[in-house]
A = this chain, B = another copy of it.
């Protein structure tokens, strides 16, 4: 029985890695579609999000079955409950990658972002991709150096996000209202994506350390 239980726990862990890998692919493809106005690739991201949602549901059902059948306690219980929360964060990251792809599709064949902010958003994309890849690696390896990296990368994301709102409010901003709205929403999608990555990083740190370590992982 304990062997079956440990196998099932391991299975939940593997499914989290699988979902996070799909999320990393989603943000890579969404941002490529976003910058190259590739409507087919955008469409792929939108379609692929259903797979992430399906896997999240499957993982949650498995976790609830483990709770019902195995009655885990202590570390195992925390792992299962954390998995339910991490899968919710990963599912939201998939949604946000889809939103970015949807913006690309909506504005096709035009670019979503005006030239003056292209560099900012390319950096946004790089940071979100790095965060997504590190989340997948962190779930796989539980190497907490990755969690620290994610928190640091997110600080730069927050700076970019604030910078975008300053740019739109500045006197020399001449873009249309519609473009301004696209820019603001896109910025928020990139920022929220990174923020959910930090949530996952915090939960892994919690599982490894057994407690929140705000000094290690950068604030509550």
Contact = CB atoms under 8 A, between A and B. Distances in A.
A67 B67 CA distance: 8
A49 to B, nearest CB: 14
A169 interface: yes
A168 interface: yes
A68 B64 contact: no
Contacts of A183: 181
Interface residues of A, number: 26
A175 B168 CA distance: 13
A188 B181 CA distance: 11
Interface in A145-189: 165, 168-169, 173, 175-178, 180-181, 183-185, 188
A210 interface: no
A88 interface: yes
